[in-house]
Amino acid sequence: MMQDCCLGIDTSCYTTSVACVSDQGIVFSERTMLSVRFGERGLRQSEGLYQHTRQLAPLLERLFAAVDRSRIGAVAVSTRPVDADDSYMPVFLAGWMTARSIAAALGVPLIETTHQSGHFRAALCGNESLIGRPFYGFHVSGGTTDLLLCETDALNPYRMQRIGTSTDLHAGQFVDRVGVAMGLPFPAGKHLETLALSAAERNVKIGASVHGCDCSFSGAEAAAMRLFGSVPREELAFGVYDCLARTLTKMLRNAEESCGRRPILLCGGVASSLLLRELIAKRLDGTVLFGDPALSSDNAVGVAYIGLDRSALWNR
């Protein structure tokens, strides 16, 4: 049988995920969230690594039950958060060691990439028109608020230069801290968005702090906490998303002043919010593109596609 598939593994801070893709699309994709105790705002890396180790085996058993292993021509894995020399998190060791073992057992290439690259590759599904064109990539999640210049071509759609970020809390941390303070489960994004959508009034304004292409959310968090209890929860929740939209929009507009206009692609778990997408799109006059919401939260699909792209090059 032809080796037409790539297996992908991603073990991020809060999700264990595996996927298999081919030129025809997604063959298999499944993920399991890590467990966080109610009231907590995250996990220690050691606890995350332990949970990944337990969760990878059943996910991979189901993948190999669904996909003929003789079709797998490469294994791809995210080994670190972003493409930087000092980028490291222990949770990625679980996926990396497992991927190395599978690749060795199958006798196929191992392709290493980053979690961030996987997010952007997943967001390019349905936005393939961006390949070959420069664009602004915005990765908005619990651990990242990165604005990047993306220079792409058909052979290497992953060259990225960071031009903006958060100097303290990331967008997802802002959402989660306010949500957990309200008594919502972690991660709080979906629950906070549900509250925001039911707000009778949308008048709560939380200040946005943007300097050039960088932002800060610690002041916004403090402001939201001061409002807690004095305004309806639904209105405060909407105020959080309104603050996020204004912050990200200001960063993008400042980038356009410095580097010129180009298409904008948003990805990451926070960017999967339909409310946030609506608020940003209104401010950016339709120049912004989004990844498929189903592929915006942490998953291994983008990692698998990176492996497919690169292994296809080797086979030419």
Question: Percentage of the chain with pLDDT > 70?
Answer: 96
Taking the C-alpha atoms of residue 198 and residue 311, their distance in angstroms, rounded to an integer, is 47
Assess contact for 105 and 92: CB atoms under 8 A.
Answer: no
Whether 273 is covered by a domain: the verdict is yes
Which CATH number belongs to the domain containing residue 66 in this structure? 3.30.420.40
Return the minimum-mean-pLDDT range out of 34-43, 47-56, 100-109: 34-43
- Please state, in angstroms and rounded to a whole number, the distance separating the CA atoms of residues 32 and 11: 10
- Single pTM value for the model: 0.92
Counted domains in the chain: 2
46-57 pLDDT tens trace: 999 999 999 999
Provide the b/e sequence for 177-212 (b: ≥16 CB within 10 Å).
bbbbbbebebbbbebbbebbeebeeeebebebbbee
Q: Are 186 and 179 in contact (CB under 8 A)?
A: yes
Mean pLDDT of the chain: 93
Express as a percent the part of the chain with pLDDT over 90: 84
In a domain, 219, yes or no: yes
Q: What is the reported pLDDT for 154?
A: 52
Examine residue 9 and state whether it is found in any structural domain, yes or no.
Answer: yes
Q: Let me know if 93 is exposed, middle or buried by CB neighbors in 10 A (0-12, 13-18, 19+).
A: middle
**DSSP H/E element including 249:** helix 233-259
Half-sphere exposure of 35 toward its Cβ, with a 13 Å CA cutoff?
5
Instruction: Answer yes or no: is 13 within a domain.
Output: yes
Same domain (yes/no): 284, 306: no
pLDDT of residue 38: 87
118 lies in the same domain as 190: no
Q: Is residue 134 in a domain?
A: no
Q: What is the pLDDT of residue 152?
A: 65
Mark whether 210 and 280 lie in a shared domain.
yes
The verdict on residue 196 lying in a domain is yes
- Structural domain including 303 reads 5-122+296-314
* Residues 275 and 300 both lie in one domain: no
Same domain, 305 and 272: no
State the first-to-last Cα distance of the chain, in angstroms, to the nearest integer.
Answer: 18
Which one-letter DSSP state was computed for residue 126?
T
In-domain check, residue 149:
no
SS3 call for 98: helix
77 and 101 in a common domain = yes
180 shares its domain with 115: no
Question: Is 14 in the same domain as 111?
Answer: yes
> Does 248 have pLDDT greater than 60?
yes
Q: Let me know whether 42 and 76 are in one domain.
A: yes
CA distance 25 to 199: 39
Domain co-membership, 303 together with 250: no
The confidence score (pLDDT) of residue 39 equals 83
pLDDT tens figures, 209-226: 999 999 999 999 999 999
- pLDDT single digits (tens) 253-284: 999 999 999 999 999 999 999 999 999 999 98
**Confidence band (pLDDT; 50, 70, 90) for 313?**
low
Across the range 31-40, mean pLDDT stands at: 91
Instruction: Answer yes or no: is 256 within a domain.
Output: yes
Do 110 and 189 lie in one domain? The reply is no
Residue 84, classified by CB atoms within 10 Å of its CB into exposed (0-12), middle (13-18) or buried (19+), is exposed
Q: Give the H or E element holding residue 137.
A: strand 135-140
pLDDT at site 316 = 44
Q: How far apart are CA 31 and CA 55, in angstroms?
A: 9
Claim to verify: residue 310 and residue 276 sit in the same structural domain? no
When pLDDT is averaged across residues 175-182 and rounded to a whole number, the result is: 96
CA-nearest of 98, 101, 85, 95 to 118 is 95
